[in-house]
Chains A and B, each alone.
Chain A
C-alpha cells in the first residue's frame, strides 16, 4: 500500500494519508515509550526483588508513566539565569527530532515501512548522530560544570562508538549487497545474520549500547559521578524531551538490531503461519529485554576505559570482521 502511494503523484490525498500514518506511528512510538519505561522499571524491579510501580493503574502500574508525564507537564519551566537561553531551549528539540526521523526507514514488516530509501542504513546512522549535537548543546547552554563534563563525555563517546558501529555493519552490507533495510531482511532468508556475522553482531550490539548511553556506558549521565550529567539543569518537559529521545532511540536501535541481525519479520522455519509483525515484535522484545537486563547487572565503565575499548578493541575487531567476511565471500565464489 505504502509502495503504491510512494509511486503515485503527489497530492493532498497522499499527503493526508501519510500524515495520518505518521500520527499513528507517533502514537505507537509514544505508547512504546510509555510502556518501555514501565517495563524497564518492572523488569528491574523483579530482578532486584521488589515490585516496581504497582499503585497507579492497577496491580501492574499501567498508568504510572502517564502520571509521571502529567507531573512533568505541570512542572515549572526553569531556565537558569546564566544559561544561554536560545540554545538551552532548542537543545532538547535537536536531541529529540532525529530520534523520530530515523524511525521512518525501519521496516516493521515487509509492507509497513514509511520510507523505503536505498541507503536506509546509512541514513539511520547519519541522522542518529545529530542527537549528540543536541546533548552537547544542552550541556554547554546549561552553564553548569557537571553538565559540561557530561556533554564532553557524550561527544567523546559518540565519536569513538559511531565508527565501530558503522564498521560492524559493513559485513552485513557485504553479505546482502545492499544498504536498503528491506533488502537486508530479504537477504536473511537463508539464515539470520547473527549466524553469518557473529563478530559483527557482538561489536554492533556493544557499540549500540554505547550509542544509546545506557548502562554500562551511561557516562554522559553517570548519576553517581556527574549527578545527572548533561541534563542536570533541565526539568519539566524539556527534561522529558531528552528522556523521550533516549527511549525512542532505544526503540529504534532495538528495531535496527532486529532488522540487521535477527531477520526482521522473517519467521523461524516451519512457523511461517505466524504473521511477520508478531515475529518482529517478539525479536524486538527480546532485544529490549537484554538491554534492560544489562542495566540491572553491570557497573559503569570508566571514561578512559571506554575510549580505549572503543578504539583499541572494537574498531580493530570490526575491521577484521570486514576483511574476514570479504575473504570468505571471495573464497566461496571461487569454489
Chain B
C-alpha cells in the first residue's frame, strides 16, 4: 500500500534563493506547498531602538544598512523627515544631486533585482550582465560619496559632497549606454519561451489583495494601481520631471518583471532631465545649526524607494536625539502576502514568487 505524508521543509536561512538570511518553513506534499510560514529576524539590528540614542546625523549611516541595495533613498527619507520638521529649505544643486543619486540607486537596485530573479530561475548570464552595469553605477556613486554601498551621502539640509569634476558628464554618458543594454536584456530574456512559462500567471494577486496587504512599489503597480509617490505626492523636485508611472494589469511575476525593467527606463528619463537642468553652481548644504534639534512634535514622511513606499516617522521632544523613530520598510510589508501566494504552488514557483517580490533582508529585519 502506498502511504504518503507531508514533509516539513526548512528553506533557509542558508539557501541560495532566499536573498539573504530569510527562512521559510514550508509543508510540502510531494512538491506542492500546503503551508508556508516565513520566519524573519536573522538580520535584525534594532535600528529604530539604536536611533533613540543617536543624533540625527548619526542615524544616517544606520539607514544605509537597511535597504543596502538602494541606500540613497533610505538616506533621503530620514533627512527628509528631519528637514520637514525643521522646515529647512534645500539648495537647488543639492536637490539635483539627491535626485540623481536616488535615481541611479533605483536603476542599480532594479538591476540587482532583475539579475538575481533570473539567477533564481536558473539563468546565470543575466546576473553577470546586470552586475556589470550596476558596477558602473556603483563607481559613479563611489565618486560622489566615497563608498560603494553604504553611502552615508545625504545630510540634513543637503548632501555631504559636491559632485566631482566631470561626474555629471559620466552620468550623461551612462544613460544611452544603459538604454542600449536594456534592449539586450529584453533580447536575452524577455522573449524566452522557458522564461515566459516560468513567470506568466505565477504568484497572481488582485488589486484588492495588493491594497489590503499594503503592498507598494512594483508589487502594487503590477496589479494596475497607478500609485507612485514621486508622481502622486511629489517630494524633493520630482514635480519638475516628466516621466510615466509604469503599471501592468496582470499582477503576476511576469508583470513585476516588466514593471521593474520599464522603471529603469523611466529613471533614465529622470536622470536625463536632471543632467540637463543641473545648476552649474550653488550651495550643496543649507544653513543648518551645528547641532540638529528637531522641534517638539512628530512628523511622518514617505517616499518611493525601488521596493515601494519607505516611510519615516519621527517623534521628537526637542532634543538632539529622536524620542521615537520608526521606519515603514517596504520589503517587510511586501513580504506579508507571501504565505497566501505560496499555498498550492510548487517548489520552483516558490522561488519565482519570492524573487519577484524582491525583498532585501536588511530592510525586512530592520
3 A-B pairs with the lowest CB-CB distances in the bound complex, closest first: A300-B122, A299-B123, A299-B121
Q: Once the chains are docked, how many angstroms separate the CA of A65 from the CA of B124?
A: 21
Report the minimal beta-carbon distance from B42 to chain A, rounded to whole angstroms. Answer: 18
Most buried by A among B118, B122, B198, B349: B122
Q: Once the chains are docked, how many angstroms separate the CA of A301 from the CA of B123?
A: 10
Report the minimal beta-carbon distance from A65 to chain B, rounded to whole angstroms. Answer: 19
Q: Which of B9, B120, B128, B189 contacts A145 (CB 8 A)?
A: B9
Contacting pair A299 B194 (CB below 8 A) = yes
Question: Which B residues touch A199, using CB under 8 A?
Answer: none
In the complex, how many residues of chain B place their beta carbon closer than 8 angstroms to a beta carbon of chain A?
30
Contacting pair A223 B132 (CB below 8 A) = no
Contacting pair A49 B122 (CB below 8 A) = no
Question: Which B residues touch A111, using CB under 8 A?
Answer: none
Contacting pair B347 A296 (CB below 8 A) = no
Report the minimal beta-carbon distance from A186 to chain B, rounded to whole angstroms. Answer: 38
Q: Which of A49, A225, A300, A302 contacts B128 (CB 8 A)?
A: A49
Chain A contacts with B in 15-57, Cβ cutoff 8 A = 44, 47-50
Question: Which A residues touch B15, using CB under 8 A?
Answer: 227
Question: Which B residues touch A159, using CB under 8 A?
Answer: none
Question: Which A residues touch B195, using CB under 8 A?
Answer: 299
Contacting pair B348 A302 (CB below 8 A) = yes
Q: Is B192 an interface residue (CB 8 A)?
A: yes
Q: Is A305 an interface residue (CB 8 A)?
A: yes
Chain B contacts with A in 54-100, Cβ cutoff 8 A = none
Most buried by B among A47, A215, A227, A299: A299
Q: Is B7 an interface residue (CB 8 A)?
A: yes
Question: Which size class do A's interface residues fall under?
Answer: 20 to 34
Report the minimal beta-carbon distance from B37 to chain A, rounded to whole angstroms. Answer: 16
Report the minimal beta-carbon distance from A51 to chain B, rounded to whole angstroms. Answer: 12
Contacting pair A296 B132 (CB below 8 A) = no
Contacting pair B347 A218 (CB below 8 A) = no
Chain B contacts with A in 175-234, Cβ cutoff 8 A = 188-189, 192, 194-195, 197-198
Contacting pair B192 A303 (CB below 8 A) = no
Q: Once the chains are docked, how many angstroms separate the CA of A216 from the CA of B195?
A: 10
Q: Which of B16, B118, B129 contacts A299 (CB 8 A)?
A: B118
Q: Is B145 an interface residue (CB 8 A)?
A: no
Contacting pair B348 A225 (CB below 8 A) = yes
Contacting pair B348 A303 (CB below 8 A) = yes
Most buried by B among A50, A216, A302: A302
Question: Which B residues touch A49, using CB under 8 A?
Answer: 128-129, 132
Question: Which B residues touch A299, using CB under 8 A?
Answer: 118, 121-123, 189, 192, 194-195, 198
Contacting pair B347 A224 (CB below 8 A) = no
Q: Is A298 an interface residue (CB 8 A)?
A: yes
When C-beta atoms are compared, the residue in chain B nearest to A302 turns out to be B348
Q: Once the chains are docked, how many angstroms separate the CA of A69 from the CA of B285?
A: 58
Contacting pair A224 B16 (CB below 8 A) = yes
The verdict on A216 contacting B31 (CB below 8 Å), with A297-B125, A300-B121 known, is no
Contacting pair B346 A303 (CB below 8 A) = yes
Report the minimal beta-carbon distance from B353 to chain A, rounded to whole angstroms. Answer: 12
Over the window 117-146 of chain B, the binary record of Cβ atoms lying under 8 Å from chain A Cβ atoms (1 yes, 0 no) is 011111111001100100000000000000
Q: Once the chains are docked, how many angstroms separate the CA of A215 from the CA of B188?
A: 16
Q: Once the chains are docked, how many angstroms separate the CA of A215 from the CA of B124?
A: 10
Contacting pair A225 B194 (CB below 8 A) = no
Report the minimal beta-carbon distance from A176 to chain B, rounded to whole angstroms. Answer: 33
Report the minimal beta-carbon distance from A240 to chain B, rounded to whole angstroms. Answer: 21
Report the minimal beta-carbon distance from B241 to chain A, rounded to whole angstroms. Answer: 33
Contacting pair B16 A223 (CB below 8 A) = yes
Contacting pair A298 B347 (CB below 8 A) = no
Ordered by A's residue number, 12 sampled pairs between the chains whose C-beta atoms are within 8 Å are A44-B124, A49-B132, A50-B128, A145-B7, A149-B347, A215-B122, A225-B347, A225-B351, A295-B124, A299-B189, A300-B348, A302-B348
